[in-house]
Amino acid sequence: MSIADRSRLAGIAVIAFALICSASARAQDLIADLSSHRVDITTGFTGADLLLFGSVDDTGDIVVTVTGPKENITVRRKDRVAGIWMNTKSIQFTGAPNFYAVASSRPLEEIAPPEVLARQEIGADQLRLKVANGQDSRAREEVAEFRKALIRRKRAQGLYAQTPGDVTVIASKLFRTQVHFPATLATGIYTAVVYLIRDGRVVHAQTTPLVVEKVGIGAEVYTFAHTRSATYGLAAIIIAVVAGWLAAAVFRKV
């Protein structure tokens, strides 16, 4: 499907959504939905794009955040020791989102003050990343340095994205934005939150769930490897031995 076709379908989806929900919109100031509530990771998965769209019956700015499952992440720092680069220090952050994306109708600093953004964790720099137990005695400056390194690494991997101005508002009523999920996406439950912010305050919010999961042969292999690890390891060894024997036989004939 071409980009033009996808754009036309997206436009049709927004209009259809507005028509279907027009009666409800009078009672609710904010209604939002996703083009799909599921992302299937297959063997050839190269990423996915989902459309988030909705209608608003009030004035203000639209901010969208999508947060992935939590994980513990260890950030290490390398220093040169006796002429060799080595890991010298590390900090583990607990409960950090594997994926985080934020899109807004305007730059965030123009929409709300820092304390409001921090309270709602809007923006990667506002995420509350906790240090693992036993490491909370580190100096604040040192923790901040490692925190910035984590966010830089996630952004380089395409897992933390911030796109101000990417939310399109039509006639002050309809809005839409496209959320990109990279190929390195983790499985789990994701949460999309749409905020309506006016005069620097959050006046409405709506949460929508999203499921990311492996399907097909890749999912079966993944499940088998985690539920029957001993059998999987034995099978992998046998396959490697057979493959090596066949390769040796072929080269002997050549």
> What does 39-105 look like in DSSP terms, one character per residue?
EEE-TT---EEEEEEEEESS-SEEEEEEE--EEEEEEEEEEEETTEEEEEEEEEEEEEES-EEEEES
Within this chain, do residues 223 and 210 fall inside the same structural domain, yes or no?
A: no
Q: Which pLDDT score, from 0 to 100, does residue 44 have? A: 85
Q: Which residues of the chain have pLDDT under 70?
A: 1-28, 82, 87, 134-138, 216-229, 232, 235, 248-254
Handedness of CA 199, 204, 209, 210 (dihedral sign): negative
Other CB atoms within a 10 A radius of the CB of residue 149 amount to 14
Q: Which pLDDT score, from 0 to 100, does residue 136 have? A: 61
Q: Which pLDDT score, from 0 to 100, does residue 132 have? A: 83
Q: Which pLDDT score, from 0 to 100, does residue 26 have? A: 44
Within this chain, do residues 63 and 132 fall inside the same structural domain, yes or no?
A: yes
CA 218: distance to chain centroid?
A: 21
Within this chain, do residues 104 and 117 fall inside the same structural domain, yes or no?
A: yes
Nearest to 101 by CA among 60, 144, 161, 178: 161
Within this chain, do residues 17 and 92 fall inside the same structural domain, yes or no?
A: yes
Q: Which residue range forms the structural domain that includes residue 71?
A: 3-214
Within this chain, do residues 18 and 138 fall inside the same structural domain, yes or no?
A: yes
Within this chain, do residues 56 and 162 fall inside the same structural domain, yes or no?
A: yes
d(CA 229, CA 231): 6
Q: Which pLDDT score, from 0 to 100, does residue 81 have? A: 72
Q: Which pLDDT score, from 0 to 100, does residue 243 have? A: 74
User: pTM value?
Assistant: 0.73
Within this chain, do residues 204 and 228 fall inside the same structural domain, yes or no?
A: no
In contact, 212 and 41? CB cutoff 8 Å = yes
Within this chain, do residues 28 and 124 fall inside the same structural domain, yes or no?
A: yes
Handedness of CA 216, 222, 224, 226 (dihedral sign): negative
Q: How many domains does the chain have?
A: 2
Within this chain, do residues 12 and 100 fall inside the same structural domain, yes or no?
A: yes
Q: Which pLDDT score, from 0 to 100, does residue 228 have? A: 64
Within this chain, do residues 223 and 119 fall inside the same structural domain, yes or no?
A: no
Q: Which pLDDT score, from 0 to 100, does residue 222 have? A: 52
For 202-216, letters b (16+ CB in 10 Å) and e give: bebebebebebebee
